[in-house]
Amino acid sequence: MRVFGVDPGLTRCGLGVVEGGLGKPLRMIAVGVVRTPTSDQPAMRLLALQIEIDEWMARYEPDAVAVERVFAKANIKGIMGTAQASAVPMLAAARRGLPLAMHTPTEVKAAVTGSGRADKAQVTAMVTRILRLDTPPKPADAADALALAICQLWRGAAQNRLQEAVTAELAQQAKARQTKEVARPARRQTSESGSR
């Protein structure tokens, strides 16, 4: 499976593509950062981001997209830019009919480092180790995008397996109920015909 991770931001947007699966070694396919000038209008910055994300989607053909979920910070202006930027990969995934996962920074840190309180340096170090990279991805936005993809590959695969097990169990229960319901009327008819 190939996951496109996006660490959204208007000034710097981290992009990373990772391939692999649960119990399989992961490998980095691509990593980068889209930068937009703060002097440009927000609409032009979002357009530049959309063009780049569309190019990455066409080039790397991911199976799923993972985006960092926006969380509250003290900097309202920063939150707005991040929220606007996060809509771009979400729409790109929807246009292509790709599954979209939203992960909080704490979920990503926990998946990659084992601790939801890990700092950026620890996340970067673990991403470098997990993907067996010669040098750490820089800046931190690039490492965060790869961490999002890793998180989705690991957590998403585990969640999919759990969902498949739940679905199979529900299907078995439904089949058992259906078998009981089909068997009941037959018994009633037999007892009614026997009483006559």
pLDDT digits (tens), the chain, 196 positions: 999 999 999 999 999 999 998 788 999 999 999 999 999 999 999 999 999 999 999 999 999 999 999 876 667 777 888 999 999 999 999 999 999 999 999 999 999 999 999 999 999 999 999 999 999 999 999 999 999 999 999 987 555 554 555 555 666 777 777 777 766 655 555 555 554 4
Active site includes 141? Answer: yes
Cross-strand partners of 30: 17
Q: Of these residues, 19, 52, 107, 141, which one is catalytic?
A: 141
Strands (E), 39-196: 64-68, 100-103
Instruction: Sort 1 into a burial class: Cβ within 10 Å, 0-12 / 13-18 / 19+.
Output: middle
* CA separation for the pair 79, 9 (Å, rounded): 9
pLDDT at 128: 98
**Given 19, 68, 107, 144, which residue is catalytic?**
68
Catalytic status, residue 68 = yes
Catalytic residue among 7, 19, 52, 107: 7
Per-residue pLDDT, 167? 59
pLDDT of residue 163: 53
Exposure pattern of 32-63 as b/e (b: 16+ CB <10 Å)? bbbbbeeeeeeeebbebbbebbbebbeebebe
The hierarchical CATH code for the domain 2-163 is: 3.30.420.10
* Complete edge-to-edge strand list for the sheet that includes strand 2-7: 27-35, 12-19, 2-7, 64-68, 100-103
**What pLDDT sits at residue 196?**
47
> Any idea of the CA torsion for 69, 74, 80, 84, to the nearest 10 degrees?
-20
Give the C-alpha separation, 46 to 24, whole Å.
35
Q: Is 119 tagged catalytic?
A: no
